[in-house]
Structure 1
Amino acid sequence: MKITAKQIAEKLNISTAAVSMALNNKPGVSVAMRHKIIDVATEMGYDFSRIQKKMEKSNEIAFVFFHKNFVFDTPFFTELATSVETTVKENGFQLVVHHIHDLDNLEEKVATLNSYHYAGIILLGTTMNQNEFSYFQKLEIPILLLDTYFPNIKTNCVVINNVDGAQSATEYLIKKHHKQPGYLHASQNIQNFAERSLGFYNGVRTNSYPVSKSIVHLLSCSVEGAYADMLEILKNKEPVASCYFADNDEIAIGAMRAFKEMGYRIPEDVAIIGFDNIPYSTFVDPPLTTIDVPKAFMGKIAARFLIEVIKNPSEHHAKIEINTSLVIRNSI
């Protein structure tokens, strides 16, 4: 038996007109109510194919955070998300935020996203792998992948120029200290850190140092985790370099704390450069030299790119890299 708008209205105790407006993507109901109606309609087995062809174009863009052993609560992601929201609203769209976890049923989650009939989706896929992204490729609406990309997959994306940023940091350390730098490498396996690793080793090779002699410490990605890992390394009296490039600021800050606790002076005994330029990097002692990622600019570019694709669809795809810059403070 076909499910009708009247049956959905009765289940929600609302008017049939409200259900009709929500299902046909017409104004007159709030974003929250429209999503509630669509969710219930999906649960009841409503046949959306009957209305999809005559639906009005949505003015909503979804911003989807994909989580995997990671919480997007750092200042980096806050600034990025704020910029996306501001730009979306400036261009006459509404932004709706979704959080999806790797342990969720991704097929169901993506089907639900599809049922909302968004104008487009920005997917923050920092921790995502290619297999997980394959579910999102099935979406029938424009999608922009933010903060990661996958070779040989045709999709629009906006990413950080990690390789050049890490290489410039590494070469600056070498120029400043005339010694082979060590590497505070993130233990989490994501695309950003893989590219920063490539940039670090490019810098080492360019300056004729043997890659095999680089001192590398594998550290957790948080301040507390990196501190605990680095403290254990130092207590075990493992070899230590005189200067380091760190995959992100939190690793750098945690490692600095451990070094200082064990009697090392920063930067006299050990110099450190981070990556990201989070606000906290200016308040540590000494303030952290780092690679700045223009987060607000990155969010703005991502939102504008998706909106352009929504308005002018194309069979071609593009990858935009956001360049970084070195911010010199007192940790080197």
Structure 2
Amino acid sequence: MQRGKSHVSLKDIAREIGVSISTVSRALNNHPDISPEVTRKVQKLAAELNYTPNPLAMGLLKQATRMIGVIVPDLVTHFYSSIISGIEDIAEQKGYYILIASSNETLQKEIKAVENLMKTRVEGLIVCLSQETKNYEHFDRLINNNIPLVFFDRVCRTGEVPSVVVDNVDAAQKITKHFYKNGFRRIAYIAGPDHLNISQERTQGYISGLKSCGLGFHPELLVKCNLSSKDAIKATAQLLNLPERPDAIFGINDTVAFAAMKEIKRQGFRIPEDVALVGFTDEFHSTVVDPALTSITHPTFEIGQEAARLFFRCVENPEAKATQVILNTKLVIRKSSVK
């Protein structure tokens, strides 16, 4: 065998010494069935070759890979990267690794990600749904086979699958009341697709927030987009071109809010003097755009931690009832919404 090979396997060591792979594995773990002489020989060669265990291979021998698949809509935004860090924090404490895949906001890529991660023998999945996902058959197969599964933020099958969300209704109410407190009365909301729980819940909070402020609901002030910047710009233009335009807008997430900011400025309106603006998720860019964007901030790291804790509860107690953890958000006020 070539010395200095980058990846030395149990098979390489077994071949060089002339014993079976299982003998090498047991010798490395000081199993009493293996003679002291063979154990010394195996461990000496392993040290010389800088052998390190492959967690996937070791897991397959034990029928447990100690790996968790994580699927997110994108890998660019701080929102998801911070949640992934929270998942990883708890996973490491348990001696687990994570494998990450992105759906790029498409159902087909989400289905493929589920297939590919399961092929690598992950023990289960932690998932945030893509914006296209209305059919859940690819997850039903996991549920029916008792494979650990947890959803976060955008969720489904909540009666059967544990999940972590924020109080979206309360968050949207906070925004609406904040606008009202600062003198805005024609408050508009750019929502996402109807089937997403976050869109439904934030719409509910928006409407109830208007009611609590004594404002009527005007259907023309509630518009929808597919969460892309291009579609959000169209939605913003639709609002600004109304005979009686809104004096305040909030978006379902910061991507939508940044697109709205671009269109508001393009049409020559001032923020917040002509149109106030609030986002949702508090991405890093919120602090560097002009004016700085008021936004709802999520406890993203904690979301990840809670999702991982739910995952391990599934692993340890497969029969446990599905629970939902609901976390609180905070409205971070900046210049974009205060006259």
Structure-2 change in CA distance of 1:203 and 1:311 (3 Å): same
Q: Deviations over 1:228-281 (max 9, x none)?
A: 5534664x5654111122211121121112112212111111111111111111
Q: Is 1:88 aligned with 2:88?
A: no
Contact persistence 1:122–1:143 (CA under 8 A): yes
TM superposition shift of 1:196: 1.0
Where 2:173 maps in the other structure, the secondary structure is helix
TM superposition shift of 1:72: 4.0
Q: % of aligned pairs identical?
A: 25
Look up the equivalent residue of 1:119 and give its one-letter code.
E
Q: Is 1:194 aligned with 2:197?
A: no
For 2:121 and 2:222, locate their aligned partners in 1 and report how far apart those are by CA, in whole Å. Answer: 47
Contact persistence 2:71–2:125 (CA under 8 A): yes
TM-score when normalising by structure 2: 0.73
Equivalent pairs counted in the alignment come to: 294
Matches within 5 A, 1:122-133: 122-127=126-131, 128-132=133-137, 133=139
For 1:109 and 1:288, locate their aligned partners in 2 and report how far apart those are by CA, in whole Å. Answer: 34
| Larger radius of gyration between Structure 1 and Structure 2 | 2
TM superposition shift of 1:121: 2.1
Where 2:150 maps in the other structure, the secondary structure is strand
TM superposition shift of 1:156: 0.8
Residue 124 of structure 2 aligns with which residue? Answer: 120
TM superposition shift of 1:282: 0.9
Structure-2 change in CA distance of 1:242 and 1:20 (3 Å): farther
Residue 222 of structure 2 aligns with which residue? Answer: 216
Look up the equivalent residue of 1:141 and give its one-letter code.
I
Where 2:271 maps in the other structure, the secondary structure is coil
Residue 260 of structure 2 aligns with which residue? Answer: 255
For 2:266 and 2:116, locate their aligned partners in 1 and report how far apart those are by CA, in whole Å. Answer: 50
Residue 309 of structure 1 aligns with which residue? Answer: 314
For 1:264 and 1:111, locate their aligned partners in 2 and report how far apart those are by CA, in whole Å. Answer: 48
For 2:115 and 2:255, locate their aligned partners in 1 and report how far apart those are by CA, in whole Å. Answer: 36
For 1:303 and 1:156, locate their aligned partners in 2 and report how far apart those are by CA, in whole Å. Answer: 11
Look up the equivalent residue of 1:60 and give its one-letter code.
M
For 1:213 and 1:121, locate their aligned partners in 2 and report how far apart those are by CA, in whole Å. Answer: 39
Q: Deviations over 1:259-318 (max 9, x none)?
A: 122121111111111111111111111001111111111111111221233234443110
TM superposition shift of 1:159: 1.4
The match for 2:282 among 261, 265, 277 is: 277
For 1:152 and 1:32, locate their aligned partners in 2 and report how far apart those are by CA, in whole Å. Answer: 30
TM-score when normalising by structure 1: 0.75
Look up the equivalent residue of 1:170 and give its one-letter code.
T
Residue 335 of structure 2 aligns with which residue? Answer: 330
Where 1:308 maps in the other structure, the secondary structure is helix
Matches within 5 A, 1:237-256: 239-256=244-261
The match for 2:166 among 152, 155, 160 is: 160
Contact persistence 2:87–2:308 (CA under 8 A): yes
Residue 5 of structure 1 aligns with which residue? Answer: none
TM superposition shift of 1:97: 2.4
For 2:58 and 2:310, locate their aligned partners in 1 and report how far apart those are by CA, in whole Å. Answer: 26
Q: Is 1:287 aligned with 2:292?
A: yes
For 1:103 and 1:215, locate their aligned partners in 2 and report how far apart those are by CA, in whole Å. Answer: 33
Q: Is 1:73 aligned with 2:76?
A: yes
Structure-2 change in CA distance of 1:31 and 1:55 (3 Å): closer
Contact persistence 1:119–1:142 (CA under 8 A): yes
Residue 269 of structure 2 aligns with which residue? Answer: 264
For 1:255 and 1:20, locate their aligned partners in 2 and report how far apart those are by CA, in whole Å. Answer: 61
Structure-2 change in CA distance of 1:245 and 1:158 (3 Å): same
Which runs of no fewer than 5 residues in structure 1 stay unpaired?
1-13, 39-53
Look up the equivalent residue of 1:62 and give its one-letter code.
G
Larger deviation: 288-297 or 86-95?
86-95
Q: Give the root-mean-square deviation of aligned CA atoms.
A: 3.5
For 2:235 and 2:289, locate their aligned partners in 1 and report how far apart those are by CA, in whole Å. Answer: 19
Contact persistence 2:190–2:232 (CA under 8 A): no
Structure-2 change in CA distance of 1:152 and 1:140 (3 Å): closer
Structure-2 change in CA distance of 1:326 and 1:111 (3 Å): closer
TM superposition shift of 1:57: 3.4
Look up the equivalent residue of 1:280 and give its one-letter code.
H
Structure-2 change in CA distance of 1:151 and 1:63 (3 Å): closer
TM superposition shift of 1:110: 5.2
